[in-house]
């Protein structure tokens, strides 16, 4: 089955800096890679996703890149703000009977 | 207002009691999922259902049971056989129109003492 590794487990940055979270996956059949943001005591919310036919996707201050050859994908947050502080999860899976595998999460702390 | 609701937000039970967590969605999604979340462990799949009256075990199904009698509802029962039931439980759904995007509920924190 799929195995997703996520690094780092904790990331501390100053407000205005960039943050990068990286994930690797094992199953070359995976073709959908979402990123979720989870605030304390709440359910995860999708913030951006990418499919295997695209190498990069951007939405305002967040972007995701995908390298299918190397089987890794990354989340980039620019100009971080304190409200970006949360736990971020990556996931990987394939269409049809979609059962994603999640990384263990990265706790992002943005210091004002 | 479409979405997924989970109730209650907090649940307390004594050891040895079964407890049922509610999950309802009005997104008309076919697939529904239950995850367990522990600190530093990410989301682990307990059960999932891709159609009414059918469900499959996930990675950590032991000590849990589910039913899917209606499209909108996917309750999870934590039985007394679950050795370490205290955790944060998340329900999610996805549908063909969402291109596999999962929508999560707000979660239920279960504490068993």
Render A13-30 in DSSP notation, one character per residue. EETT--EEEEEEE--TT-
pLDDT of residue A52: 81
Distance from CA of B11 to the nearest CA of A (A): 14
* Nearest to A40, CA basis, from A103, A111, A107: A107
Both tokens assigned to A27 = 């199953």
B15, B22 Cβ separation under 8 angstroms: no
Query: Which residue of chain B comes nearest to A34, CA vs CA?
Result: B101
Over range B83-94, report the average pLDDT.
94
Report CB contact under 8 Å: A99, B90: no
Question: How many CB pairs (< 8 A) connect A and B?
Answer: 48
The whole-number average pLDDT for the span B95-99 is 61
Q: Does A95 touch chain B (CB under 8 A)?
A: yes
Structure tokens at B27: 């997104």
A86 pairs with which residues across the strands? A108
Query: pLDDT class for A80, splitting at 50, 70, 90?
Result: very high
Give the nearest partner residue to B43 out of A9, A95, A102, using CB atoms: A102
Find chain A residues with C-beta within 8 A of B50's C-beta: 97
Phi, psi of B97 (to 5 degrees): -75, -15
**Cβ pair B102:A34 closer than 8 A:** yes
For residue B56, pLDDT over 80 is answered with yes
Query: Nearest-CA neighbor of A16 among A79, A75, A89?
Result: A79
Structure tokens at B78: 């934590």
B43/A89 touch (CB, cutoff 8 Å), yes or no: yes
pLDDT confidence band for B1 (50 / 70 / 90): low
The CA distance from A96 to the nearest CA of chain B, in Å, is 8
């Amino acid at each position: 089955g799929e195995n997703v590794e996520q690094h780092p487990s904790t990331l501390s940055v100053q407000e205005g800096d960039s943050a990068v979270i990286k994930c690797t996956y094992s199953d070359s059949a995976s073709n959908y890679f979402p990123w979720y943001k989870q605030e304390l005591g709440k359910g995860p919310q999708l913030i951006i996703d990418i499919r295997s036919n695209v190498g990069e996707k951007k939405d305002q201050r967040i972007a995701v890149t995908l390298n299918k050859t190397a089987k890794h994908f990354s989340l980039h947050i620019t100009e971080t703000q304190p409200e970006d502080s949360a736990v971020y999860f990556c996931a990987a899976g394939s269409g049809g009977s979609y059962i994603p595998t999640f990384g263990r999460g990265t706790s992002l702390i943005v210091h004002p | 207002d479409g979405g997924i609701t989970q109730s209650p937000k907090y649940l307390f039970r004594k050891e040895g009691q079964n407890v049922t967590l509610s999950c309802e969605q009005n997104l008309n999604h076919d697939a529904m999922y239950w995850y367990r979340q522990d600190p530093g462990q990410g989301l682990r799949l307990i059960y999932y259902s891709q159609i009414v009256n059918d469900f499959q075990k996930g990675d950590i199904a032991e000590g849990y049971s589910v039913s899917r009698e209606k499209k909108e509802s996917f309750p999870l029962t934590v039985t007394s056989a679950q050795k370490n039931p205290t955790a944060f439980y998340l329900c999610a759904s996805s549908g063909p129109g969402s291109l596999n995007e999962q929508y999560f509920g707000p979660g239920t924190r279960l504490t068993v003492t």
